[in-house]
Structure 1
Amino acid sequence: MTAEALAVDPAAARWGQTPGAAPGPDAPLLVLLHGYGSHEGDLLGLAPHLPGGLALAAPRGPLPGGPGFAWAPLATPGRPDPAHVRAAAGALLAWLDADPRAATRPVALLGFSQGGLMATQLLRARPDRFAAAVVLSGFALDAEEPGDAALAARDPRVPVLLGHGDADPVIPRAATARTAAWLESHTALEHRAYPGLAHAVDARVLADARTFLSRTLPLA
């Protein structure tokens, strides 16, 4: 499949909610973006650790990758092909725009690893669309994007939580540092580095994500 032909399969996406009463039609929607080699069901397991009152949507990456799926082919760590990243972001936006369940809600993003890359790219592709983003063990594309200036000029800026381990063997430290600097200049960044954590999510990460989303989203 070429970059231009990427599409997110709406039939493969999974929808759900965090524990508690069923969220109303205007409750915030959190889009969960899995990492390379994973699948749409992976991050739904975080639901019990997230604030109540959230609707959840978990799309599947459009490319085969490892034992599962991917948003872009593997390349130099932290430096994927920009064309594939842009095409995947376009496919995600087309999927999201076509579903009426996302039409009237505030929409936030939570991505792990390559899914974190997609979260940052969606912010850049549609600067006014998203209410908040959580980027876990992820990074941003190392290129200027047409929406960057509008994202930086947004007032107030979109809140973003960047969380990663200081012992991550997958995402290079240079890519993480570059991403933190870029987010600092374009968003309302909260940056957390977790001592001893590898390329993973633990209780510290989940607690910070829950607090961040509870504070930044209009929950009932």
Structure 2
Amino acid sequence: MAELPPLDPSAMLWSGPPGERAGRPLLVLLHGYGADEGDLFALAAHLPSAFTVCAVRAPLTPPFPSPGYSWYPIEGLESRDATHVTAAASALLEWIETETDAPAVGLLGFSQGAAVALQALRLAPERFAFVVDLSGYATPGPLPLDDDLARRRPPVFWGRGTNDDVIPPFLVAHTVEWLPAHVDLSGRVYPGLTHSVSEQELTDVRVFLEKQLEHLA
């Protein structure tokens, strides 16, 4: 499996100082290709305040002239190698296991970040309370704990737009089939939405997160 550098703690954005994080559930935000940790962190003010929110920066730099950072390559043959998604999810897991002590952890990712979030859930089904997948997909190919995931069926919200022309149709079709077989799926397809997050989708995500807080309590 491809190896990545560890996540950079100095590049992470937190919703509160260390003294305010103890005993609170953690919501980790994973940005998309060509963005950075500030992209999704702008949503933190619209999410339930009971969570500690941490936005992390992906470890790779896309080829010039793409801006920002990426979780795995999307160029050429490398884009079809699922081990890159697994490597990114493993790097995320390593940081969570060694650097956080939250009583519960949820993941919220957009596009590439959403793919990494689902892959991390598959690598460690017992570690995550839930996943929010915005304009992302489930990576094709089996993983050793997929059967365990299907038994646990953790909550997953999947939101996507009808006009999203970034995620290839075959990946959307695979995700439509794969998610209901492995998780407790909820979500919505938003008419006219492109590869982005709408106000209605953000409202739906907040409702989903509030329900997860009720379960955690």
TM-score (norm 2): 0.90
Bigger drift between 89-98 and 115-124 goes to 89-98
Q: Do residues 162 (structure 1) and 161 (structure 2) align?
A: no
> Which residue pairs with 1:38 in the alignment?
35
Q: Distance in 1 between matches of 2:213 and 2:172?
A: 25
Structure 1 moving runs of 4+ over 6 Å: none
> Does the aligned pair in 2 maintain the 1:75–1:81 contact within 8 Å?
no
- Tell me the C-alpha RMSD between the 2 structures: 2.0
Structure 2 residue runs of 5 or longer lacking an equivalent are none
Q: Distance in 2 between matches of 1:23 and 1:11?
A: 18
> Does the aligned pair in 2 maintain the 1:132–1:217 contact within 8 Å?
no
Q: Deviations over 1:138-179 (max 9, x none)?
A: 01111101111110111xx21000000011010123312211
> Which residue pairs with 2:180 in the alignment?
184
TM-score (norm 1): 0.89
> Which residue pairs with 1:49 in the alignment?
46
Higher helix share: 2
* Paired residues, number: 210
Q: Deviations over 1:52-106 (max 9, x none)?
A: 21101111111002201000001479x642121111111111111111xx32421
Alignment match of 1:126 (pick from 109, 124, 127)? 124
> Does the aligned pair in 2 maintain the 1:61–1:71 contact within 8 Å?
yes
> Which residue pairs with 1:27 in the alignment?
24
Q: Distance in 2 between matches of 1:13 and 1:29?
A: 13
> Does the aligned pair in 1 maintain the 2:4–2:59 contact within 8 Å?
no
Distance 1:76 1:216, change over 3 A: farther
> Does the aligned pair in 2 maintain the 1:39–1:69 contact within 8 Å?
yes
> Cα offset for 1:48?
1.9
Q: Distance in 1 between matches of 2:147 and 2:70?
A: 28
Structure 1 residue runs of 5 or longer lacking an equivalent are none
> Which residue pairs with 2:56 in the alignment?
59
> Cα offset for 1:4?
1.7
Match of 2:147, as an amino acid?
Answer: A
What's the % identity of the aligned pairs?
47
Distance 1:174 1:76, change over 3 A: farther
Q: Distance in 2 between matches of 1:5 and 1:185?
A: 30
> Cα offset for 1:49?
1.5
> Which residue pairs with 1:87 in the alignment?
87
Match of 1:144, as an amino acid?
Answer: P
> Does the aligned pair in 2 maintain the 1:33–1:110 contact within 8 Å?
yes
> Does the aligned pair in 2 maintain the 1:131–1:217 contact within 8 Å?
no
Specify the SS of the correspondent of 1:191. strand
Match of 2:128, as an amino acid?
Answer: F
> Which residue pairs with 1:96 in the alignment?
96
Q: Distance in 2 between matches of 1:50 and 1:180?
A: 26
